[in-house]
A and B are shown apart, each in its own frame.
Chain A
Amino acid sequence: MSADRYNHAEAVRRAKSLGARLNTAAQMAIELIAAADLDETNADRVVLSATVGNPEPKIVPLTLKDKVLRAAELAYSLAGDLHLRGRDPGDLAFVRGVQRNIEFVLVDARGLLDMTADYRAELIAVQLQKARNLAAELAVVLEASSESSHMDERRSGQGEQIRMSAPALGAARAAAWLLAAADRDRYAEEFKAELLAIASAGGRCREQLACALAQLRRAPLLRVELREPRRRNAAP
């Protein structure tokens, strides 16, 4: 019990620290963009990911500025979430879900930031790397604690047991949190319904978590899509 409490408090402390570092990194990314040193034309890159056995290279156009903005926006939102959670440290699973997603995002961000020679980008990369290291430490602490809180059992209307993954629910909740306030309730319900559908179909914790992390990773893009004005409504 006391060990759990220690781990819990430690996890929250580290989560807060991670949030602060991500905030710093995001702020630097914003400054980088504001400095407008990035020539947007030059920043448009084309990545050719040709691999052995894949005769047709996959062409992925990337706009560095957009990607940095996306990383910054996500970092801000995650930092905010972690800060909120720090006040109410009752959901380790939530923090664990967020932490895993941070890992993915930061790996992507690091790769993108390596593409520019701007020295500020290097500083950002260093900050992001520190945040990533911290996230890895956080993972160790979280994995060691409260394994029993991993699964949440629920009962369906038909009486059969459905096992919902608590980390997946947490990540889905985080995904909804990344959206504008007006859209949160709708997508929180929609995301949760998807997880429940997976669980009802016998989907295991890992499958639910994969779905929830996909929701979380695409939340910033969804937010952008929802922000755009509706064309149909603009017409009389």
Chain B
Amino acid sequence: MSRESAPRMTLPTQLVLRALLAEPTREMYGLQICAEASLPSGTIHPILARFERLGWLESRWEDVDTSAEGRPRRRYYQFTEDGAERARIALAQATTAVAAMKLQARPARGTA
């Protein structure tokens, strides 16, 4: 079975993309993205991994002295150079597909 070039645009996937696209150049860590996307914490790592695999996102470790800060490093995610554009296109296509499905599913009115 061949895989499509864009990921399956589930609702959480779309929410994550929208959160990231709100400020495409901003770096965010997982918990921040969850909050922005209104998703429960701890739920988005598979989605982020998928976007990284597709080359839409890149990630890096926070540059801090962990012993001085007293906490582990955060992993920051950011769109790649063309990632934001590809994400916007995929999101637009997904939105269009959902709208078309809703139109098809809506029963005709005024007929017996």
Q: Report whether B71 and A157 are in contact in the complex, using a CB–CB cutoff of 8 Å.
A: yes
A210-B42, A211-B40, A214-B40 known; A190-B75 Cβ under 8 A: yes
Q: Verify if B45 is at the interface (C-beta below 8 Å from A).
A: yes
Which residues of B44-88 are within 8 A (CB) of A?
A: 45-46, 49-50, 52-55, 68-75, 80
Choose the segment among A47-55, A112-120, A125-133, A192-200 that binds chain B (4+ C-beta atoms closer than 8 Å): A192-200
Q: Report whether A189 and B72 are in contact in the complex, using a CB–CB cutoff of 8 Å.
A: yes
Overall SS of chain A's interface: helix
Total A-B residue contacts, Cβ distance less than 8 Å = 81
A230 CA / B52 CA spacing, docked (Å): 8
A197 CA / B28 CA spacing, docked (Å): 13
* Min C-beta distance of A230 to chain B, whole Å: 5
Residue numbers in A under 8 Å from B71 (CB-CB): 156-157, 193, 196, 200
Q: Verify if B43 is at the interface (C-beta below 8 Å from A).
A: yes
Q: CB-CB contacts of A206-224 with B at 8 A, as 1s and 0s?
A: 0100111111001001101
Q: Verify if A33 is at the interface (C-beta below 8 Å from B).
A: no
Residue numbers in B under 8 Å from A200 (CB-CB): 71
Contact of B54 among A156, A215, A221, A232 (CB under 8 A): A232
* Min C-beta distance of B64 to chain A, whole Å: 10
A41 CA / B96 CA spacing, docked (Å): 27
Residue numbers in A under 8 Å from B24 (CB-CB): none
A194-B31, A211-B40, A214-B43 known; A231-B73 Cβ under 8 A: no
* Min C-beta distance of B11 to chain A, whole Å: 10
Q: Report whether B29 and A226 are in contact in the complex, using a CB–CB cutoff of 8 Å.
A: no
Residue numbers in A under 8 Å from B75 (CB-CB): 186, 189-190, 193
Contact of B70 among A156, A212, A225 (CB under 8 A): A156
Q: Verify if A88 is at the interface (C-beta below 8 Å from B).
A: no
Q: CB-CB contacts of A53-78 with B at 8 A, as 1s and 0s?
A: 00000000000000000000000000
A231 CA / B83 CA spacing, docked (Å): 13
Contact of B29 among A158, A193, A230 (CB under 8 A): A193
* Min C-beta distance of A112 to chain B, whole Å: 18
Q: Verify if A39 is at the interface (C-beta below 8 Å from B).
A: no
A157-B69, A186-B75, A189-B72 known; A194-B42 Cβ under 8 A: yes
Q: Report whether A157 and B68 are in contact in the complex, using a CB–CB cutoff of 8 Å.
A: yes
A188 CA / B90 CA spacing, docked (Å): 31
6 shortest A-B CB distances, which residue pairs?
A232-B55, A214-B42, A157-B70, A211-B42, A225-B49, A211-B41
- Return 28 A-B CB contacts under 8 Å, by A number: A158-B70, A189-B75, A190-B45, A190-B75, A192-B72, A193-B29, A193-B75, A194-B29, A194-B31, A194-B42, A196-B71, A197-B29, A197-B31, A198-B41, A207-B41, A210-B40, A211-B40, A211-B42, A213-B42, A214-B43, A218-B42, A218-B45, A218-B46, A222-B49, A225-B53, A230-B55, A231-B54, A231-B55
Given contacts A194-B31, A213-B42, 18 further A-B contacts (CB under 8 A): A157-B68, A157-B69, A189-B75, A190-B30, A193-B75, A194-B42, A197-B29, A197-B31, A198-B41, A207-B41, A210-B41, A211-B41, A214-B40, A214-B41, A218-B45, A218-B46, A230-B52, A230-B55
